[in-house]
Amino acid sequence: MRNFVQKAVKKIEKLDREQILTLINLLTEDIELLETILNSMDDGVIVTDMEYRIRVVNKTARRLLRLHPGELIEKTVWGVITDQETAEFIEKQIKRDDRIVEEEFYTDKGSGTAVLSLNTTPYVKNKKIEGTLLILRDVTEKKQREAQFRRAENLASLTTLAAGVAHEIKNPLASIGIHIQLMKKELQGSGCIDKESGEEYLAIIDEEIERLNSIVVDFLFAVRPMDTRLKSENINKLSEDMLEFVKYELEEHNVTTELHLSPTIPKIEIDQKYMKQVLLNIIKNAIAAMPDGGILSISTSRKDDRVLIQVKDTGFGISEDNMTKIFEPYFTTKDFGSGLGLTVVYKIIREHGGEIALDSKEGEGTTFTISLPLPQSERSLLTWEEKGVGDQ
Ligand SMILES: Nc1ncnc2c1ncn2[C@@H]1O[C@H](COP(=O)(O)OP(=O)(O)OP(=O)(O)O)[C@@H](O)[C@H]1O
Ligand SMILES: [Mg+2]
C-alpha cells in the first residue's frame, strides 16, 4: 500500500468527503493493480483463513483446479473443486497443517490429465498464523520433457550395452564354431571321434554356452527396469552392516577399515537391497585394488539437501584414461571381471535420483562419492529455517 494512503487511513476521521473519496479511489486502484498482477500470474494462488475458507483466489487457480464458477470467497477450498479426487487430495494435504513443498498430483483437467505441483505455506500476520497460502503450478510439460529425456538416455545406454553384448558374445560363439569344425573334420576323416577328444570338445562347447548364458543374464539385469521399493533407512547402519558382511574377505586381503559416520544424518529413502549391492560392488573393487592390503574407509555426511557416502581406498588408483570408461558396460581391467559392476552401481544410483563421482590418483587410491537426495520433509525443514519463511 502506498505510504501516504496508509497515513491518510490513520487520520481518516479528520478527512472531508472529497478527501475520503480520493482515498477510496486510490485504494480501489491499488486493489485493482494487485488483482491484475495476481490474475496474470502463471501460478495458481489461493489464500485461505484458518478454517480453509477462500479469501483470495486468482484466475490460474480457478483454471488449474477447475473451481466452480461464480463467487468463491468464504467457501471452503475443497468444496468448490469439481474433480472429486482432487478435492479429497487438497483437503487431506492442507489439513496436515504442515508446510508442503512441491507435492505432485494428477488431476482431471476436463480434456485429459494434468500433473500439478502444490506448495503450501502458513500465512503469517503480526507473528500469528492467519491462514494458508496455496501455490499451484502446472508441471505436465516439464514431466513429459523429463520422461522423454529419460527415454533418450535409456536408449543411448542400451545402444552401448547392446554393442558391448555383441562384442562379448563373439568370442564364445567363435570358440563353439571352431570346436564344431574340429569335430566335423575328424568325422569326415576317420568316420568317428575318439571318446577322449569328443568329450574334450563337448566340455569346451558346454563351457562357452555357460559363458553366453551369463552374458545374457548380466545384460538383462543391466537393462531391466528396477522395481525399487523405497523405504526410510539409516545409511550409517547400512555401511556398518556391509563392512561386517565382507569382514573375512577384508581380513584375508589385509585390509583395515575406518568408519566416519555423521551422527546427525537423517534417514533417507532407499531400496536397501539395491543400495547394499552398490556398496558391495564398490567395496569389492576397492579390495581388488589393494592386493598388498591397505585401508578402506567409509564416511557419511550431509551437504545442503543431499546425503554423501564416500568409499575410499588406498589402492593402485585409476589412470586418467580409464576414469572416463569405468562406468561403461563391459569395461574391465581384470582377467575374470565382467565389467558390469560399476554399470549396475550407476544404474541403481540414478534410479534413486542420486549421483556418483570419483576421484583417483594412480599409486595413491580412489574415492567414490555417492550423493543421494534428502527426503522432502527434511528439505523443507531446511528452507524453512534458512529463509525464515512466513515470519515477515
Ligand atoms: N577402487 C578402484 N581402484 C582401482 N580401479 C578400480 C576401482 N574400482 C573400479 N576400478 C576399475 O574399473 C573397472 C570396472 O569396474 P567394474 O566393477 O565395473 O568391473 P570389474 O570389477 O572389472 O568386474 P566385476 O565387477 O564384474 O567383477 C575395473 O576393472 C577397474 O579397472
Ligand atoms: Mg567390480
CATH code: domain of residue 89: 3.30.450.20
Q: Which three cell numbers stand for residue 331?
A: 569395461
Predicted local distance difference test score (pLDDT) of residue 385? 41
- Report how many domains make up the chain: 3
- End-to-end, the C-alpha distance of the chain in Å comes to 16
Is the pLDDT reported for residue 390 higher than 50?
no
Closest C-alpha among 88, 135, 134, 79 to residue 108: 88
* 381 or 245, higher pLDDT: 245
Predicted local distance difference test score (pLDDT) of residue 43? 94
Predicted local distance difference test score (pLDDT) of residue 139? 92
How far, in Å, is the centroid of ligand 2 from the Cα of 104? 38
* 294 or 161, higher pLDDT: 294
Which ligand number lies closest to the CA of residue 336?
1
Query: pLDDT per residue over 202-232, tens digit each?
Result: 999 999 999 898 888 877 877 777 788 889 9
* Exposure string for 238-267, b = 16+ CB within 10 A, e = fewer: bbeebbeebeeebeebebeeeeebeeebbb
Confidence of residue 377 (pLDDT cuts 50, 70, 90): low
How far, in Å, is the centroid of ligand 1 from the Cα of 342? 7
Nearest ligand 1 atom to the CA of 344 is 18
Q: Are 200 and 280 part of one and the same domain?
A: no
Torsion sign, CA atoms 157, 162, 165, 170 = negative
Q: 114-123, 187-196, 203-212, 291-300: lowest mean pLDDT where? A: 187-196
CB 348 within 8 A of CB 277: yes
Query: pLDDT per residue over 3-60, tens digit each?
Result: 777 788 788 888 888 988 988 998 899 899 999 999 999 999 999 999 999 999 999 9
Pocket of ligand 1, candidates 250, 278, 280, 285: which has the most ligand atoms within 8 Å of its Cβ, to mutate? Answer: 285
How far, in Å, is the centroid of ligand 2 from the Cα of 14? 84
Q: Are 356 and 294 part of one and the same domain?
A: yes
Is the pLDDT reported for residue 320 higher than 70?
yes
Residues in the chain: 392
Q: Are 295 and 348 part of one and the same domain?
A: yes
Nearest ligand 1 atom to the CA of 342 is 18
Predicted local distance difference test score (pLDDT) of residue 384? 42
Any domain includes 1: no
Mean pLDDT in residue range 219-248: 88
Q: Identify the residues whose C-beta falls under 6 Å from ligand 1.
A: 281, 285-286, 289, 313, 315, 317-318, 326, 331-334, 337-343, 366
Any domain includes 174: yes
Confidence of residue 376 (pLDDT cuts 50, 70, 90): low
Q: Of 202, 223, 244, which residue constitutes the final position of a domain?
A: 223
Helix, strand, coil share of the chain (percent; to 5): 50, 25, 25
Report which protein residue has its CA nearest ligand 1's atom 9: 285
Any domain includes 215: yes
Which ligand number lies closest to the CA of residue 365?
1
How far, in Å, is the centroid of ligand 2 from the Cα of 235? 22
Query: pLDDT per residue over 167-198, tens digit each?
Result: 888 889 999 999 999 899 888 888 888 888 88
User: Where in the sequence is the domain holding 90, given as residue range(s)?
Assistant: 41-138
Pocket of ligand 1, candidates 161, 284, 290, 334: which has the most ligand atoms within 8 Å of its Cβ, to mutate? Answer: 334
Predicted local distance difference test score (pLDDT) of residue 379? 59
Predicted local distance difference test score (pLDDT) of residue 268? 92
Closest C-alpha among 10, 1, 52, 51 to residue 28: 1
Which ligand number lies closest to the CA of residue 344?
1
Predicted local distance difference test score (pLDDT) of residue 126? 83
Mean pLDDT in residue range 269-296: 96
Q: Of 223, 244, 274, which residue constitutes the final position of a domain?
A: 223
How far, in Å, is the centroid of ligand 1 from the Cα of 285? 5
Q: Are 125 and 150 part of one and the same domain?
A: no
Percent of the chain at pLDDT exceeding 70:
95
Q: Of 105, 138, 171, which residue constitutes the final position of a domain?
A: 138
Closest C-alpha among 366, 369, 339 to residue 354: 369
Predicted local distance difference test score (pLDDT) of residue 322? 93
Q: Are 180 and 98 part of one and the same domain?
A: no
Percent of the chain at pLDDT exceeding 90:
53
Q: Are 122 and 180 part of one and the same domain?
A: no
Predicted local distance difference test score (pLDDT) of residue 180? 92
Report the C-alpha gap between 274 and 277 in whole angstroms: 5
- CA 186 to chain centroid, in Å, comes to 59
Report which protein residue has its CA nearest ligand 1's atom 25: 341
Give 131's contacts (C-beta < 8 A, 6+ positions apart): 47, 48, 49, 50, 52, 55, 122, 123
CB 279 within 8 A of CB 311: yes
